[in-house]
Chain A
Amino acid sequence: MNDGVVKTILVASLLASFILLTAFAHGIDAIREEHSVAVRFVYADGSAAIGAQVDIFAPDSNELYVRLETDPNGCVAFVPDRSGAWRLKMDDGMGHAIEREVMVSDDGVASMNAHAGSHVNGVVAGVGAIFGIFGCAAWWMSRKPNHRSPS
């Protein structure tokens, strides 16, 4: 094989490699992540906290891991890259804020204590509901005589 043919093959190979690399640079894929953590934020009345800001901190770290915004259902999702207690600080920017911990085990299983942290407004609503149930019972008792048949 003479030098001219070798050079031509070499140039063609380099050109093919360049085209191939360019094609790869535009390639992208989506992979379903198995070990994601999704958390839903709701107000005391059950409505979703939409558009709230959620700061996520990795275990034993005060450095912000990621800042997310709740979706139209009040949810955020992230993928923990280590086990431990992940802190989620939610602030809706309108006076409602809450902090929760998500425990991630070594095998990637997440759990959250439903009663961790506190939400002053939620507590107030709870008290109101208890009194509301009590009030309904009192109303029912007070109206009983009116339902007796006249004798």
Chain B
Amino acid sequence: MIGRTLLQASLLVLILAAHAMAHDYWIVARPAMVKPGETVTIEICGGHQFPVSEFAVAVRLLHKLEITSPDGGVSGYLPEVAGKSLFAEWTPDQPGVYQIAFQLRRPREEKTLAFASALVVVGGNEFPAIRPRGQELEVVPALVDGKLEVSVFSSGKPIKADVGFGREHVRQVYRTAYPDRPASFTSAGSGLHMMIARRGSQSAALTIYIPE
């Protein structure tokens, strides 16, 4: 019995150690629900405790910072270092769901280490619905009967992966998403939420604002 307890404690420590080694990367867009013409602040963050950024990601590693508009148009942005994060400001001009995203890559490498995105709803207060974009790794949420269901995709195909989910300043909970069964979560309330999936050295994060 003691051996089993020690085993469980050791596994927990190993999981925590592995998590501490890996940094998460995400985007905070505030406000995440706006009217057309209102300015949104985009913050690219890195660290362990969503939403507080612990360090500024090097601009040289940002492969892209793009905003996809509801009509599918894509525009690129260059953020600036401001303290422990990267900042950019942007003003949406049409109603709908915008997706802000960046990829993190090492110099001269094709492989994306991190794909992070944030959804901004303009001129509405509905739950933002999106579809997979064909990234190497990405998370796609859906609201089904009041529950948040999160699927993980790799190059457009659903895969099995562990998904972390949490509201700002609240510890993440983990569930497993399967190709035929998304990970199901219940939000602890309205606010900014992040969901993140990891596969080897790759990670994919998505931040959304969940209304009341």
Interface positions of A (Cβ within 8 A of B): 43-45, 47, 50-51, 53, 69, 91-96, 121, 124-125, 127-129, 131-132, 134-136, 138-139, 141-142
Residues of A within 8 A of B47 (CB): 95
Expressed in whole angstroms, the minimum distance between the Cβ of B195 and any Cβ of chain A is 20
A44 is contacted by which of B21, B46, B113 (Cβ under 8 Å)? B21
Q: How large is the interface on B (under 10, 10 to 19, 20 to 34, 35 or more residues)?
A: 20 to 34
Residues of B within 8 A of A47 (CB): 201
Can you name the residue of chain B whose Cβ is closest to the Cβ of A134? Answer: B10
A128 is contacted by which of B3, B14, B60 (Cβ under 8 Å)? B14
Contact of B11 with A by CB under 8 A = yes
What are 24 pairs between A and B in contact, CB < 8 Å? A44-B21, A50-B106, A50-B107, A69-B107, A91-B58, A92-B58, A94-B46, A94-B58, A95-B23, A95-B46, A95-B55, A95-B57, A121-B20, A124-B17, A128-B13, A128-B16, A131-B10, A132-B14, A134-B6, A135-B6, A135-B7, A138-B3, A138-B10, A139-B7
Known contacts A95-B46, A95-B47; A142 and B17 CB within 8 A of each other: no
Contact A94 B3 (CB under 8 A): no
Residues of B within 8 A of A50 (CB): 106-107, 109
Can you name the residue of chain A whose Cβ is closest to the Cβ of B104? Answer: A94
Q: Would you give the 0/1 interface string for B15-46, flagging 1 where the beta carbon is closer than 8 Å to chain A? A: 01110110101000000000000000000001
Known contacts A51-B106, A134-B10, A142-B4; A125 and B21 CB within 8 A of each other: yes
Query: Measured between alpha carbons, how far is A142 from B2 in the docked complex, in Å?
Result: 8
Query: Measured between alpha carbons, how far is A78 from B58 in the docked complex, in Å?
Result: 23
B57 is contacted by which of A43, A94, A134 (Cβ under 8 Å)? A94
Known contacts A51-B107, A51-B108; A128 and B61 CB within 8 A of each other: no
Query: Measured between alpha carbons, how far is A53 from B46 in the docked complex, in Å?
Result: 18
List which B104-119 residues lie within 8 A (CB) of chain A: 104, 106-109, 113
Interface positions of B (Cβ within 8 A of A): 2-4, 6-7, 9-11, 13-14, 16-18, 20-21, 23, 25, 46-47, 54-55, 57-58, 60-61, 104, 106-109, 113, 201
Given A134-B6, A135-B6, A142-B4, 9 new contacts (CB under 8 A): A51-B107, A94-B104, A94-B113, A95-B55, A124-B20, A132-B14, A134-B10, A135-B10, A142-B2
Contact B13 A131 (CB under 8 A): yes
Contact A93 B60 (CB under 8 A): yes
Residues of A within 8 A of B4 (CB): 138, 142
Residues of A within 8 A of B104 (CB): 94
Expressed in whole angstroms, the minimum distance between the Cβ of B54 and any Cβ of chain A is 7
Contact A94 B61 (CB under 8 A): yes
Residues of B within 8 A of A124 (CB): 17, 20-21
Can you name the residue of chain B whose Cβ is closest to the Cβ of A128? Answer: B17
